[in-house]
Every structure is written in structure tokens, then in C-alpha cells.
Structure 1
């Protein structure tokens, strides 16, 4: 996309060090900032990166803010909306493709607060309860891959005002209690996300009406419905993003 070569990447050495361990790497992000840039920047720089998420075949009903539209259309020359590409992996109950990518020492990009997951745990972020998927921490536990938080944020020093930040690998808690470990480790990510929200509050989606309430409600529906995004007609629900 346009101007991609002018975007700075901070912490790329963290990713290189993780890949040197030959167990792949997980870039963990959230519905915050310019997350759509992560996959494109990784592949532009020659990294085998795969976005894991729900299958998308048609334009969603939600709309970006005027500022986000300006960034994607005018600065980056990107479409406001992208359907699944060949380097995307659909999130479903079959984790074998994900494990294989990590065994191949490739990169998975996962969204921690994506709701189309088989298992969700509540995490506190900025005083709110945010459901988060356990997939990233479960994969890391099973494969030895490191988790590196990654966010696209504003850049006061860069030429076009946007940068990708890759944090150092998370120090994961691993005991005999896998579920409690998942909760603890996701809360660690929640604290990192909170630090970014505090620095860049305008990049979070909390301005959306009933944002936290709706996501908590959707996290309680059946797994099959969550994967399908099927919550039309359920009392109290309206269409949300993944």
C-alpha cells in the first residue's frame, strides 16, 4: 500500500530474536489503533505472517470514523474494508494449521479481544470487563512460540504519523493449572493494552454506544453462534465487529 516504506517499525529486533528460537511467533493485538497495518507491514518486510480471524466475504455494516477513513484512503491508499486474502487463516475449531505455521517458524497475527473463539475469559482493561480469546496463550503453551504484543499507533517523529510497535515477548505464567494460567497471561496482555489506551485514548473504540456491554453479551452466546457471527434476533443484541 502507499507510503508503507515510510512507516517505522519499533521493536522489530524483538521479533527477530523470537524467530531465532525456531518456534514461530505470535503477534498479539486488539481492536485498537491501526491493526490492519500489521499483516501488510510484516509481509512487505519479507516476514511470513498469517492473519487469523473470521472469514469475511461481504462489507460489514459498521463504519469507520472520518479520521480513520482519511488515514486508510488518503494517506495509505488502502480500501476502507478488505475481504479475506490468501494469507489469512480462518479462525475455527481446527488449530492444526496454526500449529503447523508455528512449526514452520512463521508468524501468526491474532486479535486478543476477537469474540469468534471457542474459549473466552474476562479481563479487566481501563476498569472495564473485556472478554478475550484464550487461543494465543494456549498456542504458546503448546508450541513454545513467544507472544509479542503489537500495535499500530500514532508517530510524532515519523514522516506520515503512524508506526508499528512490537513489544518484547510476554513472560508467560505456566503451571499445572492451564485455565488459570490463561487468565493470568491474558490479564498481562490487558495491562499492556491499557497502557497503550492511556497513551492513545482516541485510537480505542469505547466511543461506540454500549461498546463494552455489547461485547460482554456476545461473549456469552453459543460457540457456534460466535464463530458464525449469528446473533441476529437474540434479545438485546445488535451487530458488532469481530
Structure 2
């Protein structure tokens, strides 16, 4: 859901964040999210739209959420979500990494140790770009396979190399690309995995055309990209789901789930939908548990992409 003044807010954040980052980073996070919470309290129209979306989501999921409280917190987390990883755009690795509480790292490391590469399966839940930032900070050999993210930290942007056959620049995809562009990008992504690197991509991308399957999410059906399934089936690289949310301590709580390997026939039209739904079910459970980190999901029925 787009809000009025998003561009103005982004310019304000870019100007304010260098100063805010001088504070302890959890305090900085509370200040940034406070902008959204204040706007929610002051703007009745905005508050009603959030309240309605949260109430509808609670009914769909059978959850007895405190609608006003969740709605206000969600509005605050929207600002953090839109700021991507810019809050931790600091020189000190130790200072940035202190913002993370990580669970299940052993699942990631075991998958990487297998030597077949690794698909880190993310989503647009919570602080969705922060796992990539954490991977960079910990020197994992990771490439992003997605549309080129906007408004990311200078630290992350500096890792987007532009040279070589496996350069990050060649792995960014576009919705405007044709079938040949899509095929070429998938081949490049497969080479990344074959080289033993990590590939970071989302499993909740609504898409049209080839390599899609229908899935049910929050009581509505959408078509989702199955690129991650095609890559996993072709490469036999382990898939490690990751979820990252903003905790009550204003730090990033990140969880790596146990890895799985997709069967070679997973990309077949008759099979792909099962694997799409498996991930969507995991994602929906995160929304059920942490609705304030649901970002745009509760507004999807309005037909607006996250």
C-alpha cells in the first residue's frame, strides 16, 4: 500500500539517518519506527486503512490480535522496512552485527559446507534485506538474485560488483525482460551455485508468465515465481529458508531454518505448486505469530505489490 509523501519521507530518512546512526542503533531504530507510529496516530485515514487491514488479516488467520496496537506497530515497522538496511550502514562490523540475534546459523553453515552452493530463501517479511547485509558482514560469498534493490546502504551497494561472468550486476533481473533474458539470468544464477556460492532470493514474488505457479496466501490466490524451485532442482543445492523480524528490543531477530533439497522433478508444472505452497505456509505462520512484521502482506488483496 502506497502512502502519501513516500518520496518526501525517503528524502527525510536519507538526510536524518546519518545523524540518527550516531546514537546506539537500537535507539536509532526506535526513532525511525517512531516516525511511522506518530504518523499513524495523527493521520486518521491512514490509521483506518491499517486498522482495517489488520482486522481482516486477523479474521482470515483466526487470530485475536489487539488491532490498534498491532496496527500502530505495523505502521512503525513499515518505515524500517522501507529504509531497508540503511540503519546499519556503519563502518564497524562489530557495531552492525550487534544489532542481530541469530538462530539456526548451524543450518546455514552445514548447507554451505556441502560444497554445492546454497539457496538462501528469503521473503518480504520483516526486515527482509537484513539477512543479506548480515551475510555480507560475515564474509559469506553471496549473490542476490532479484530486481535491483533501491535505497540500500552504501555498504551493501559497495558489494554489487560489476565485473566478471558472475558479477552481481548481471544477476539483477527485470520484470520488463523477455524470455531470453530470463533464461540467461537463470543460467548465470545456476553457475553461481555450481561455483559453491550462496544465492539470496525470495520465494514470495508475485509474477506472471513462465516459471510461475499458483499458491494460496492469506485466503487469496496469486501466481508466484518458481525460479527458486527451478534453480534448486537443477543444481541440487540445499535450500535454507530465512526469516528476519524486528524484536521488542529493536534488534533484528533472524532465524535460519533446516535445509532441504528439492527433488529433480520439483520444477515440473504438476509439482512446482506444492513447493510454492510449502514455503507460503511457512511464511503465513510468521505473519500469524508476528503480524507487526507483515509489511505489505495484509494489503495484498488491494492488488498492490509489496
Does the C-alpha gap of structure 1 residues 207 and 195 become closer, same or farther in structure 2, counting only changes over 3 Å? closer
Greater shift, 170-179 or 21-30, is seen at 170-179
Checking the alignment, whether the CA contact within 8 Å between 2:233 and 2:266 is kept in structure 1 is: no
Conserved in 2, the CA contact under 8 Å of 1:113 and 1:131?
Answer: no
- What is the aligned length? 194
Tell whether the 8 Å contact from 2:230 to 2:266 is kept in structure 1 after alignment: no
CA shift for structure 1 position 155:
3.2
1:214 and 2:303 are equivalent in the alignment: yes
1:106 paired residue among 173, 197, 202 = 197
Q: 2:242 aligns with which of 136, 150, 157?
A: 150
Per-residue CA shift, 1:33-73, capped at 9, x if unaligned?
A: 101112110011110111111246x77xxxxxxxxxxxx9x
Which among 119, 123, 145 is matched to residue 215 of structure 2?
A: 123
Closer, same or farther: CA 116–129 of 1 in aligned 2, 3 Å: closer
Alpha-carbon distance in 1 for matches of 2:219, 2:109: 34
In the aligned structure 1, how far is the partner of 2:211 from the partner of 2:301? 18
SS state at 2:303 partner: helix
Unaligned runs of 5+ in 2: 1-88, 162-167, 174-180
Partner of 1:139: 231
Tell me which residue corresponds to 1:85.
Answer: 160
Partner residue of 2:116? 23
**CA pair 115-177 structure 1, distance change in 2 beyond 3 A:** closer
**TM-score in terms of structure 2 length:** 0.56
Residue matched to 1:192 = 282
The normalised TM-score by structure 1 is 0.70
Structure 1 moving runs of 4+ over 6 Å: 81-84
Q: Where does structure 1 lack aligned partners over 5 or more consecutive residues?
A: 60-71, 73-77, 216-239
- Confirm or deny: 8 A CA contact 1:129 1:212 kept in the other structure: no
Deviation (angstroms), 1:115: 3.6
**SS of match in other structure, 1:141:** helix
Higher normalized helix content (fraction of residues)? 2
User: Which has the larger displacement, 134-143 or 109-118?
Assistant: 109-118
**1:34 touches 1:153 (CA, 8 Å); kept in 2?**
yes
Instruction: Please identify the structure whose Cα radius of gyration is greater.
Output: 2
More strand by share: 1
**Shift of residue 116, structure 1, vs aligned partner:** 5.3
Shift in Å at residue 182 of structure 1?
Answer: 1.2
